[in-house]
Amino acid sequence: MNVFAEAIAWLFSAERLTGNNAIPVRLLEHVWFTVVSVSIAAAIAIPIGYLIGHTGRGRGLAVSISGAARALPSFGLILLLVLLAGTARASLAAIVAFVLLAVPSILAGAYAGIEAVDRKTVDAARAIGMTEWQILWRVEVPLGLPLLIGGIRNAVLQVVATVTLAAYVGLGGLGLYIFRGIPLRRYDEMLGSAILIVALALALDALFALAQRTVVPRGVIQGFATDLRASPSGRRAVVRKLTAD
């Protein structure tokens, strides 16, 4: 309990808010690595995921590659790429590592979102004369967007946690306080840094959870409500109770 109180005191000390090593500076570095890495991963994975989901081709290969990428050891991958690229390009090497870790979740969310669309809906769109491009962007993408946001959400959380390791190769971020505190046995500093990382992850998770609920098409929600009205009365009572809770 004393260590926790010391960590809180460390967080709110005046010296943590000013200077080159201030918390806002390290927080911006952490967020910058996360945003850049996830953005690059999204630019790579989303088009490929949409192509796989729409055509149904290459799904097995995508699943295999995604599974293999998820198994990569984050710390070892960062160190390997930094050693190969050299310390002068450590930032680029670290971003490449973060991108490789973020791609599988976004790729899975992209093609799973397209595949989750009811084939009857796609057939109906095709029957009224829509082109394949129109079906993709007007039907499949809007309906699959919640799952895509979910994949990006998972990728962001994974990258936020992994960016902590960037401090080991001198790239800053909130993990710097942890690696600096280990040899000095500054447990208050290490715990304070961990609290900041957890708070950042929770804030981003809440933001993406809200976005995931917001992008659900209104017609899907209305259709869900229609299904509930058509259900047996006992089931409706349970649904109302769950909704009220």
Mean pLDDT, rounded, for 229-241: 46
pLDDT over 50 at 212, yes or no: yes
pLDDT at 47: 93
Phi/psi for 84 (5° steps) reads -70, -40
- What percent of the chain has pLDDT above 90? 36
Average pLDDT of the chain? 84
Question: Could you write out the three-class secondary structure of 196-222?
Answer: HHHHHHHHHHHHHHHHHHHCCCHHHHH
Give 58's pLDDT tier (boundaries 50, 70, 90). confident
- What percent of the chain has pLDDT above 70? 88
For residue range 76-134, what is the model confidence (pLDDT) as tens digits?
Answer: 888 888 888 887 788 898 999 999 999 999 999 999 899 888 888 888 988 898 888 88
Selection from 5-19, 39-53, 59-73 with the highest mean pLDDT:
39-53
pLDDT at 83: 83
Mean pLDDT, rounded, for 41-67: 86
pLDDT over 90 at 219, yes or no: no
Give 220's pLDDT tier (boundaries 50, 70, 90). low
DSSP letters of 95-127? Answer: HHHHHHHHHHHHHHHHHHHHHTS-HHHHHHHHH
pLDDT at 99: 93
Tokens of 67: 């599974």
pLDDT over 90 at 28, yes or no: yes
Mean pLDDT, rounded, for 62-66: 78
For residue range 155-181, what is the model confidence (pLDDT) as tens digits?
Answer: 999 999 999 988 888 888 999 999 988
Selection from 49-58, 68-77, 108-117, 150-159 with the highest mean pLDDT:
150-159
Signed CA dihedral, 33, 35, 40, 46: sign only: positive
Mean pLDDT, rounded, for 185-195: 90
Q: Which of 71, 65, 156, 148 is nearest to 111 (CA)?
A: 148
pLDDT over 60 at 72, yes or no: yes
pLDDT over 70 at 226, yes or no: no
pLDDT over 90 at 240, yes or no: no
- Helix%, strand%, coil% for the chain, nearest 5: 85, 0, 15
